[in-house]
A and B are shown apart, each in its own frame.
Chain A
């Protein structure tokens, strides 16, 4: 811990800067410095307290002789006679191909005992927006080996698809499984994984590190981990550092990168903390009014760019406070991301893994990434029909709770049976079970065959005749 702050600071060594002694006011993580000049907006600041500890900060507001500085790291121990150095640069990290296989903290200092990254190539962690004209509309299907996702919520290269979860659900296990199994069928390239842990508990951090190490994924991964007991304001930097590294891997080294950010709820909490300290007008739930735009500068960094071979696929994970989908954090996230995967405590309680509630879940880019030439010609229709049948089944199940199963019409009873089978056979699978897309789709047909053919109105007749187990069975008999 004595190395704290050294590496980022070493980046700015040799740059010009001015040192001031004494600040006007320290309020929480905010500091008002007076009598300064030539300070720029969002400049990085180095602060040394009388305790000798170095901290970093960032300029939030500046006028001719006064600056408001956000202190990153522990503000405890600071007093008004500390030293403040303005570094003359915004927040940047060095990047090189040596980042692969490494583990860093939320300030990009190595925590794996290896030396820091040295490179002349430094990137602003806030990045720049991708020109909409430079984007390629994502269309390459990623096989995750998980039926619910591959069959009904297909993940596409360059997509941003979050997992909305509840405390206590196995979202981290699911994320690790996706990181382990994700491939593009027919292509050899593996994904490089960039993992951003935001306010992660020690035990969770260890789980990911162990999981990555065990499966040999670590050497093609970069882990940036801010622990729950690290300073909260550093959580603002963690996802941006992870994404800056990911952008470098994807658009400079041209790798296919999967970024996992967990838990974005901790990020938003930190954002709220800073906003309240600045006495800004609070929006819904006390979160700042600009949280949408702020989250967008993180999520929108995913994508595929014209003329670049790499891609950046983003899977943020967030626990919905109180399990409420309408809470500002999942709500604003859902407005920015391209769909959402929602985990359900009810399914989890039933012992179903992964406990994905497919009905409110959605992958917006699925339509462009599946179908003939991409996955299989019946994929899209099959998925539509599964949604329809399962939602009827769930409705029947609710009704059966009131009127009893005998009170249901025969048709409703069939849908109820379908819902049970769907959860038991299609949804459920092992943590280390990696299903091919073919297996997933055939499984879907198997459970759908509970429903009479005529009622499968969302599947064109030609595909029913091509894939329905009944017809495939006949083919087998005749041949």
Chain B
């Protein structure tokens, strides 16, 4: 269902980015990059409220003609960005939310791996296969 999944570190550099191979990869990288501004805006705009409600899901960041970009930010300011095909109308907010939650818990497992150094690119096979399962569910 997702066409691109990205994990962005606190300092706004990518830890992990994957997109469906058939499409133009660079386009997605660009899209994710652009979305970071929106993420920052959202965090600063409702930063206070977010902390209070412990709401990590940022919702739709921006729609383009073909895609929708969703965002999620953890309390440690790690960002998850997901690009989905907007032709897929069956995908509701709740599903996106649960996908992000899955992504978050998988990311937590990666962090707990003693061989992973925080700040490095994510090369975990488990994380990779989890992202793959998210991508092929509908595609």
To the question of whether A and B form a pair in one complex, the answer is no
